[in-house]
Amino acid sequence: MGNFVTNLTAKDLHEDIFDYDTLVYESPSVQEIQFYAGQQLGLLWDEYKRSLNLVEYPVDLSQACWDNKMKNIEEAKKHIRNTVPV
């Protein structure tokens, strides 16, 4: 049986950039981006940040995310087949 993560906090990373044709996102300053990146990096375990004997960070997709990815790949392949002359 696989490992399961418990005691976590999920954060929605999606941000609206446009609302129809209106820009609704204000980009943070470089200093704010640096500060945020440093905070987030501090949350990672040391074995994911070291240069020697690096441990690969495990990432898994939900079934819905995987299905969406595969659907998008197939749509892109169809589009390419239909638009690129042979």
Predicted TM-score (pTM) of the model is 0.54
- Which of the two residues, 46 and 34, has the higher pLDDT score? 34
Report the pLDDT value the prediction gives residue 86, as an integer from 0 to 100: 67
Distances (CA, A) of 86 to 9, 33, 81, 82, 83: 50, 46, 9, 10, 9
pLDDT given for residue 7 in this prediction? 80
Is residue 24 within 8 Å of residue 16, measured between CB atoms?
yes
Q: Where are the domains of the chain?
A: 18-83
pLDDT at 28: 94
27-52 mean pLDDT: 92
